Amino acid sequence: MKMRWLNKLYALFCGYFWLPCPLCGSYFGGHEATGKGIMISWDRSEGICPDCIDETKKYNEEWMKNNPRPGYYL
């Protein structure tokens, strides 16, 4: 079992965010951020929890297929 309450305290006391992951909904802190994210638009993304790294690539590929880049024709 992960000690999520300890991570939450660390995030809150050190000034990191504590938000739900946009893919799975579990809460994670800014100190756990992976550097990867899901695409919101062509110039923005949202961070994900460390457990969702594998799903991110599939999500982003599907997002790019459904949202062609403005000004580019496929």
Sorting pLDDT into bands at 50, 70 and 90, what band is 13?
A: very high
Mean local confidence (pLDDT), 55-65: 91
d(CA 44, CA 21): 16
Work out the burial of residue 52: count CB atoms within 10 Å of its CB; fewer than 13 is exposed, 13-18 middle, 19 or more buried.
buried
Instruction: Return the number of other C-beta atoms located less than 10 Å from residue 63's C-beta.
Output: 15
Instruction: Return the number of other C-beta atoms located less than 10 Å from residue 50's C-beta.
Output: 11
Q: Give the amino acid at 58.
A: K
Q: What's the pLDDT at 73?
A: 60
User: Which pTM was predicted?
Assistant: 0.74
Q: Is the pLDDT of residue 1 over 50?
A: no
Q: Which of 1-5, 56-60, 70-74 has the highest mean pLDDT?
A: 56-60
Sorting pLDDT into bands at 50, 70 and 90, what band is 2?
A: low
